[in-house]
Structure 1
């Protein structure tokens, strides 16, 4: 083992300052390796950064992380040679993490919309970099650069089961605070879901499928400023909580301002102020956080025993000072690059093979019920259409058998690398709540069957003013008829199964039907089944 370690990480040393600042020629394998290590999580997260306005700030996070690393280089501690046994274990762990790139790339190609995988891939890059720093310079230096490395996690989107309810709760509070301001100003207003209802109309419909855009960006900025100014742990926590408060306050002010403009100048005037108000609150958030950071730096500092003892323990047991950085050989980074390249090449072959041998998916669609009484198509707003980016679909409303109002949405995304993410952006628990409906319960799911089609349907009960609304929601990926019984969901096993079967770029079809009126769930479901049975067309597979 010692001989292997000597070959892979030889004890050839150069001065620390020279190794970092001037010896690019000696360190180019490490530079290339870091580009590969961090290129994989950036590749995985780039889709969410591009498609979601909430996480568009992710593109600047790698640059900010490099800046924080640069700041840490100015006062990095002296390198120290760790014990050989520790270095052996670290080298073995590093090799195992490098090998894990292969299965993770395959799993990611099959599941580009799986947000928890982002934490795994980002964590892998962080740990690999951290171990590499430890092998090159010891515990002291590795500990010194931990926070800049962990900073990258702020760019990883929250898992949807956490993201959706948090955003829904905060948007409700945001609307409530804005309404209190309007009432204080003598403007009649009321809240319906996440909307502000005024005598002149309703404000906020176009943002029904979004969150509080500046919240995640403000959290990122709070963590960045806390590290840039080297605040203590308590002050960083205060700054982080202050960032949340600033984001909520500025969004409430923005909502109040737009609602006041709508009340006094009409809804048409809101469009002219919408974007400028958004940019203004981003600038206000930055200024408020920067001033808070400067104020916190001027407070008297206090050394906490827990963090002080931990730092002293790390420094005491980190080995002997060497004043030298150990130059890594190119073998590590050649192995790393080879594993990543093989992972991508194998994925391309594996999924192309799966597509070549796969049966054609069942072709089906939900047609417009033009013969139903009172049927009329509805125009989707441009902002919602740009968010969903569906390839085909329609939305319309009509009168049901009992005189109740029924509205349906049918959307289709063609097969493509972004189709799963785009389809998952529309969820009735978030979008309908944003349109002013109050969710009361999620009822038992059921399955609609017709010929070879098996459509899993989720059922929700909402409240729209004094009316009960039953909402039926189904999202199904394109698949052959013999796999209709298979249920691909968000479980780990199901996600791994997709990779094992070579399934990727699945097209998506979404059906959502809302039934207004004080009907029982049974009667509303019968109305939906009647509509689906009459207007779902299925093309037989050859």
Structure 2
């Protein structure tokens, strides 16, 4: 008599200790909080539209890490505890630095959001080191799990300085490449900065056409596909390198297509511009996904290790929770001390509408009617600009342009205002600065008046036109020292000097002319303007 073999009982599911569950809940709450904080940026910034998928991709990669392996665990050694301590310390330092910048730049500034993303990656990395402990064995320390953590900074805005330099470089490269293609095709065209002058029209390579959007999205997708689909290191590296090259090539194709359409008389604004942009993004993503499938490894997956009881790594948990408590306390301190006032009021005494004369004897006065298209970028509706023109007896022309912008107390940060100087904005329109370093600050004179020293730049175009430019940045009624808004060290100086006192009103004043100051100083018009500006602290 024989008996049938009974099936083996299922393995008991490993129960997670309360200490691990609480840590997972804290890390999950951090991811949710940061995603909600970044959601408005994802909504308004087309460069970061891929961020909406970031939480889902994060969870997908963690799942794949547990499912696919390789299963690498950290031994319970002193060096592993030291690595955890270093990771937690890095997260704490990044949160502190983000809070310090937020005191001046605001919590939604690109630098702050990027630092918070880096801090989140560091804290998640600390959690990974605990979960990959050989006594826990809950999440392996492999390429997939590390990629899941490092993708967070790629859904945060790039700091303004890096973004501006990258965008300007890409604009110049795209413009030059399109010009080379037009010459090969025999189409006459001239280049002025990032502007291409065709026979029938003019095409400008703006920031949106620089390729930054597709470059960021493709790099993000390249790392994601390399972790999700590809297993061999060499193939992963190939896919990651191919992603930015593909993005740049496809954007160049789009820019050339739009330029050719414009040359044939097609209106490329609106539908054509947006449709080609979305089409290029879709095609690029499809090509990248197809390449990932071709590079996908066919090796059979490794056998996952059997579940075993979890032993709490008490030393590692103490380090993690100590760091988490310090991060929470430091972040709360900076948040409570760096919030803007909730109600913005404009003092009635501000003579903004009367700063620039609407009429001047002997001068033709030109007031632009499209100045307020920059309101969203500058974050203010208080903008004024007038150009005064006059023909001299010798037949020459004198041009004087004065621009003033005003921000009520608490409306924006010092760095935000400082990021829109001629140094940052004029090169994109074809102007290049030829000012020597020793001449970048100039003491200007006006009889009977004591004016604060001005930042001075001399710009020229490839057509030979020149502009002398003087500008001042005023905070709380006084001129402040100029700092390069694209330098992190300069931003740190701004934060240390103006942090926790963001309630002062701000003015930005720019005077530009085709004549040097020595030929303008005695003009009654200029004296009237400077007398008016003296009321706001100039």
Tell me the TM-score normalised to structure 1 length. Answer: 0.73
1:161-194 deviation per Cα after TM superposition (whole angstroms, max 9, x unaligned)? 4332332122112122223334444543221111
Matched with 1:216 is 216
> What's the offset of the Cα at 1:419?
4.6
Matched with 1:397 is 387
CA distance, structure 2, for counterparts of residue 382 and residue 496 of structure 1: 29
Structure having the larger proportion of residues in helix: 1
The correspondence of residues 246-395 of structure 1 with structure 2, limited to 5 A, is 246-265=246-265, 268=267, 270-297=269-296, 323-326=308-311, 339=326, 342-343=329-330, 345-347=332-334, 349-351=336-338, 367-372=355-360, 373-380=363-370, 384-395=374-385
Matched with 2:68 is 75
Q: Which residue of 26, 30, 34 maps to 1:33?
A: 26
CA distance, structure 2, for counterparts of residue 507 and residue 204 of structure 1: 35
Q: Which residue of 408, 412, 417 maps to 1:423?
A: 417
The correspondence of residues 116-265 of structure 1 with structure 2, limited to 5 A, is 120-138=115-133, 141-144=140-143, 145-204=145-204, 207=207, 212-230=212-230, 232-265=232-265
The correspondence of residues 440-451 of structure 1 with structure 2, limited to 5 A, is 440-441=434-435, 443=437, 444-446=439-441
- The change in CA–CA distance for 1:87 and 1:221 in structure 2 (over 3 A counts) is closer
- The change in CA–CA distance for 1:119 and 1:393 in structure 2 (over 3 A counts) is closer
> What's the offset of the Cα at 1:420?
5.1
- The 8 Å contact of residues 470 and 524 in structure 1, kept in 2 or not, is answered as no
**Any idea what SS the aligned residue of 1:371 has?**
coil
CA distance, structure 1, for counterparts of residue 409 and residue 276 of structure 2: 37
**Any idea what SS the aligned residue of 1:503 has?**
coil
> What's the offset of the Cα at 1:287?
2.0
Structure having the larger proportion of residues in strand: 1
1:119-151 deviation per Cα after TM superposition (whole angstroms, max 9, x unaligned)? 544333323322322223327823452222122
- The change in CA–CA distance for 1:540 and 1:284 in structure 2 (over 3 A counts) is closer
- The 8 Å contact of residues 375 and 397 in structure 1, kept in 2 or not, is answered as yes
CA distance, structure 2, for counterparts of residue 344 and residue 235 of structure 1: 40
- The change in CA–CA distance for 1:348 and 1:448 in structure 2 (over 3 A counts) is farther
CA distance, structure 1, for counterparts of residue 503 and residue 280 of structure 2: 38
1:348-376 deviation per Cα after TM superposition (whole angstroms, max 9, x unaligned)? 55457999xxxx9x968583342342221
- The change in CA–CA distance for 1:192 and 1:240 in structure 2 (over 3 A counts) is farther
> What's the offset of the Cα at 1:38?
3.7
- The 8 Å contact of residues 98 and 339 in structure 1, kept in 2 or not, is answered as no
CA distance, structure 2, for counterparts of residue 394 and residue 238 of structure 1: 52
- The 8 Å contact of residues 64 and 228 in structure 2, kept in 1 or not, is answered as yes
CA distance, structure 1, for counterparts of residue 268 and residue 188 of structure 2: 18
Q: Alignment RMSD, CA only?
A: 4.6
- The change in CA–CA distance for 1:264 and 1:422 in structure 2 (over 3 A counts) is farther
1:292-316 deviation per Cα after TM superposition (whole angstroms, max 9, x unaligned)? 3333337x99xxxxxxxxxxxxxxx
CA distance, structure 2, for counterparts of residue 152 and residue 333 of structure 1: 20
Matched with 1:503 is 501
The correspondence of residues 521-532 of structure 1 with structure 2, limited to 5 A, is none
CA distance, structure 2, for counterparts of residue 371 and residue 38 of structure 1: 57
- The change in CA–CA distance for 1:349 and 1:282 in structure 2 (over 3 A counts) is closer
**Any idea what SS the aligned residue of 1:394 has?**
strand
Q: Which residue of 434, 457, 460 maps to 2:428?
A: 434
Matched with 1:467 is 465
Matched with 1:6 is none
CA distance, structure 2, for counterparts of residue 433 and residue 104 of structure 1: 31
Larger Rg: 2
- The change in CA–CA distance for 1:105 and 1:327 in structure 2 (over 3 A counts) is farther
Report 1 or 2 for greater relative contact order, CA contacts < 8 Å, sequence distance ≥ 6: 1
CA distance, structure 2, for counterparts of residue 176 and residue 353 of structure 1: 43
Matched with 2:302 is none
- The 8 Å contact of residues 206 and 384 in structure 1, kept in 2 or not, is answered as no
Extract unaligned runs of 5+ from structure 1. 1-14, 302-319
> What's the offset of the Cα at 1:494?
1.8
**Any idea what SS the aligned residue of 1:111 has?**
helix
CA distance, structure 2, for counterparts of residue 352 and residue 192 of structure 1: 43
- The 8 Å contact of residues 209 and 430 in structure 1, kept in 2 or not, is answered as no
Count of aligned residue pairs for this structure pair: 495
- The change in CA–CA distance for 1:134 and 1:486 in structure 2 (over 3 A counts) is same
- The change in CA–CA distance for 1:250 and 1:380 in structure 2 (over 3 A counts) is farther
